[in-house]
Amino acid sequence: MEKVIVITSGKGGVGKTTTTANIGTGLALLGKSVVLVDTDIGLRNLDVVMGLENRIVYDLVDVVEETCKLKQALIRDKRYDGLYLLPAAQTRNKMAVSPEQIKELISQLECEFEYVIIDCPAGIERGFKNAVAGAKSAIVVTVPEVSSVRDADRIIGLLSANGIDDVQLLINRIRPDLVKRGDMLAIEDTLEILGIDLIGVVPEDETIFRASNLGEPAVTDKSSRAGEAYMNVTRRILGEDVPLMKLDTQTGFVSRLKNLFQAK
Amino acid sequence: MQTIVAIKGVDDKLEVYFNEMASYPSLREDLIQKLQRNKNFFLNSDAKVVISGRNLSQAQRREIKRIFEMDYGISNVYYADEIKKMTETAVMYQAAPEAEPPQIPTGELELVSREYFDAKSIFIATTVRSGQRIECEGDIVVLGDVNPGAEIIAGGSIAVFGTLRGLAHAGAGGREDVCVAALYMKPKQLRLSGRVVMPEENRKDAAVGEIAQLVEGKVVFRPINRK
């Protein structure tokens, strides 16, 4: 993975913003300097899930229109060293900036930070074009469900047409019990259709709701399985070879006790 | 330099003239550039466009119409020779233009991944993804999969060295001596010379390497190595 990564999917609601927040926080926890860029102008969410909504003074559009300097718009997350957010505007729309302007902005950010993570909006029109301008690699987020996979396939094709070939897949919200019953696409089925490398699999996890509502990404919650999976994804971005988490359905007390006493 | 595409406003019409000596790819590129340069003027105008000049094939005509319609919202596009019969005047013999190698377009058109080719056959060395449409008057070979949502439209035959899950239409111009072949034949929909079939999903007896052809008006699937 390169240092400028766009998190995209095509389909809406599959977890791009959650992934951006968790990967960004994960990288900061591992000592890297990171800036998260929200390009979903008009429907901004990254600030909310990061718990930084009330600290927004200037945004991406202000920077592009030169109403303020880039530094003034960047919000430093006081909880995690090295983590910054460049929020989107809420009262404008995606025509307010152009891909060329975003490309210029991203190249400035590249000089200041070790990692630039770009949260892309759903769709394939202007929002997508803005988000991928300047990105060097991509993580495509999909849930194991046919419409999402169809859209992911389209997005992978469009990323390639935009010159981004370093693309990896993140399968989100997987339910191992449903996969076992044959009601949900298995990891192998999804990979067979999409044909790109897998950067990680994140299980469906209730802790995500609490995390979003509190503005504290799940990666900081030791009890969150999704958080653990996101931390593994972060490690893989840094080049570590982390095996896929074991995703089984046993969460009962007895099986947890059994796991405690099993030799590793 | 001779004008490749000339656009002139006459009354409420836009007359577009395609230089007869120019190759189709250069005509298309010049048209796109001219339209792009005057985008504000052309966008969504109610103008009636009449195209004359170099004779284009059906597929080429459709492509030009599509450019006007999709990118500029202009749907009243006609070809002069379709409007009225050609009247014979002086006969002029022009040398055939030098055959140019098929040019693969690059640039902002690719964002929608529609690959227009002016070639007798196309060889695609990768998987064709959802939303990509490959169109050609001749045969098309794909080394890879054709994913659902992708479209392979050939005047001739189609061969997929992989899994065919998307739409394939062989003999799209009417030819019947065509076939569709794939290693794993799982198309959502198959079309042969205008006939549409929706093959059964999850066929148990499907061989690796199947070919679909029109036999007496019906679409027949058979293993490749069986006559």
Which residue ranges make up each domain of chain B? 5-83, 111-223
Class of the CATH-defined domain A4-261: alpha beta
B111-223 CATH pick, 3.90.220.20, 2.160.20.70, 3.50.50.60, 2.60.120.560: 2.160.20.70
Q: Average pLDDT over chain A, rounded to whole?
A: 93
pLDDT tops 80 at residue B55: yes
Question: In 10 A of CB A22, how many CB atoms?
Answer: 27
What tokens does B79 get?
């070809």
DSSP A183: S
pLDDT tops 90 at residue A231: yes
**Is there a contact between A173 and A204 (Cβ–Cβ < 8 Å)?**
yes
Apex B182 CA angle, B136 and A197, nearest 5: 95
Q: Which of B110, B111, B147 comes nearest A153 by C-beta?
A: B147
pLDDT tops 70 at residue A204: yes
- Residues facing A138 on adjacent strands: A6, A167
CA atoms within 13 A on the CB side of A229: 24
Decide if A150 touches B, using CB distance below 8 A: yes
What tokens does A144 get?
């194991």
pLDDT in tens, A32-48: 999 999 999 999 999 99
pLDDT tops 80 at residue A260: no
Count A/B contacts: CB-CB distance under 8 Å: 35
Decide if A153 touches B, using CB distance below 8 A: yes
Chain A residues whose beta carbon lies within 8 Å of the beta carbon of residue B105: none
Average pLDDT over residues A105-127: 96
Average pLDDT over residues B135-142: 92
**What string of H, E and C letters represents the secondary structure of B93-116?**
CCCCCCCCCCCCCCCHHHHHCEEE
Q: Residue B40: what pLDDT?
A: 77
Chain A residues whose beta carbon lies within 8 Å of the beta carbon of residue B111: 129, 158, 161-162
**What string of H, E and C letters represents the secondary structure of A108-154?**
HHHHHCCEEEEECCCCCCHHHHHHHCCCCEEEEEECCCHHHHHHHHH
What tokens does B179 get?
């076939």
End-to-end CA gap in chain A: 30
| Single-letter amino acid code for the residue at A264 | K
pLDDT in tens, B142-193: 999 999 999 999 999 999 999 999 999 999 888 889 999 999 999 988 999 8
Rounded to the nearest angstrom, the minimum Cα separation between B183 and chain A is 15
B114 pLDDT tier (thresholds 50, 70, 90): very low
pLDDT tops 80 at residue B45: no
Mutate which: B145, B147, B183, B184, vs A, most A CBs within 10 A: B147
Decide if A156 touches B, using CB distance below 8 A: yes
| Single-letter amino acid code for the residue at B146 | V
Q: Residue A103: what pLDDT?
A: 97
- Decide which of B109 and A16 is more confident: A16
Rounded to the nearest angstrom, the minimum Cα separation between B190 and chain A is 19
Positive/negative CA dihedral, B28, B29, B30, B33: positive
Q: Which of B111, B130, B149 comes nearest A161 by C-beta?
A: B111
A262 pLDDT tier (thresholds 50, 70, 90): low
Average pLDDT over residues A56-78: 95
Contact B129 A129 (CB under 8 A): no
Q: Residue A247: what pLDDT?
A: 82
Q: Residue B90: what pLDDT?
A: 47
